[in-house]
Structures are given as C-alpha cells and as structure tokens.
Amino acid sequence: NAGVTQTPKFQVLKTGQSMTLQCAQDMNHEYMSWYRQDPGMGLRLIHYSVGAGITDQGEVPNGYNVSRSTTEDFPLRLLSAAPSQTSVYFCASSPGQIWGNQPQHFGDGTRLSIL
C-alpha cells in the first residue's frame, strides 16, 4: 500500500523562487492537510481540505497556497520562498475530519531549505 506519497523528498530553493510540493493519497480519504515541522515546535497546520474543491486555512497559512481538484491530490505552493519557510513539510490524510477521532496518515515529508 502506497498510502500518502510526497515529492520531492528534498529541495533547495533560493529566496524569491516558487515551487509546488506534491502530495497524493490512494486511500480515498476526504480530508487532507499540510503541516510544517520546526525543531522544538511540533507540527503546525498550514492548510487543509475537507473534500475536492474545498480548502481552508490553518494556523500558519501565510506564504502558501493550496488547491484540491481531485480526492487524491493536494499540492502545496510556495509563492515566493523566504528563509523562514525552511522546514520539513508533511502531508496527511484522514477518513474523518482532522479534529475528530480518526487518526491522520502521514507521508514521509519534504525537507525544504531556502537560501
């Protein structure tokens, strides 16, 4: 089972560049979300989606865009990369709402460095 697949695994960008982090899941989950993980801060929610065509902001949305055209895919776009966006990014999916009693299924992460 593939589960949640994130690409790329590593990326280095220059300040001001844009890029898209890809996320795909094969479990037919309605709910998907993006988190960033910084040392000593746990995971913080960037954006989430409750189904195709529906997205909403999380705790730290500034500088990021998302879209959800299909159930399977939930890409995260950095519009103009800044050093403060250096982080590890995780995509997750869930069969139930993210603040319910269903667990999240996580990808292996994208490690992003902004120079």
- Are the C-beta atoms of 108 and 92 separated by less than 8 Å? no
Instruction: Give the tokens for residue 44.
Output: 């913080």
**Residue span 28-67 as binding mask against another protein, x where in contact by CB under 8 A, dash where not:** ------------xxxxxx----------------------
- H or E segment at 50? strand 43-51
**Alpha-carbon distances, residue 96 vs 46, 53, 61, 100 (angstroms):** 18, 17, 22, 6
Please tell me whether residue 24 adopts helix, strand or coil conformation: strand
Smallest distance, Å, CB 97 to another protein? 8
Query: Any contact of residue 109 with another protein (CB under 8 A)?
Result: yes
Query: Any contact of residue 108 with another protein (CB under 8 A)?
Result: yes
Query: Any contact of residue 90 with another protein (CB under 8 A)?
Result: yes
Residues binding another protein (CB under 8 A): 4, 40-45, 90, 92, 97-101, 103-104, 106-109
